[in-house]
Amino acid sequence: MGAIERNGFRFVPEYSVSHQNGAIHVYNNKNRFIEEIKFEFSGDFPELDQIEDLVDQYCNKREI
């Protein structure tokens, strides 16, 4: 699962199958870390739709 680019921001998902949780690291256009979006999932890996929904919610909330 690779990074997602939106309006000059980069969202990099990372996850742990054994702990069933993950985070999306948010970077600005200067590659500076902004914040971390934590999430939980079930199964072997998070669904791409779940990651995209979290990114969409983040962008909408911050009007990105």
Residues 4-53: pLDDT tens digits?
999 999 999 999 999 999 999 999 999 999 999 999 999 999 999 999 99
∠11-16-20 over CA atoms, to 5°?
A: 105
**Rounded to whole angstroms, what are the CA distances from 34 to 18, 30, 47?**
26, 10, 23
State both tokens at 28: 């600005």
Interatomic CA distance for residues 17 and 56, integer angstroms? 23
Q: Which amino acid is at 32?
A: R
State the pLDDT at residue 30: 93
**pLDDT score for 31:** 94
Residue 1 confidence (pLDDT) above 90:
no
pLDDT tier for residue 2 given thresholds of 50, 70 and 90: confident
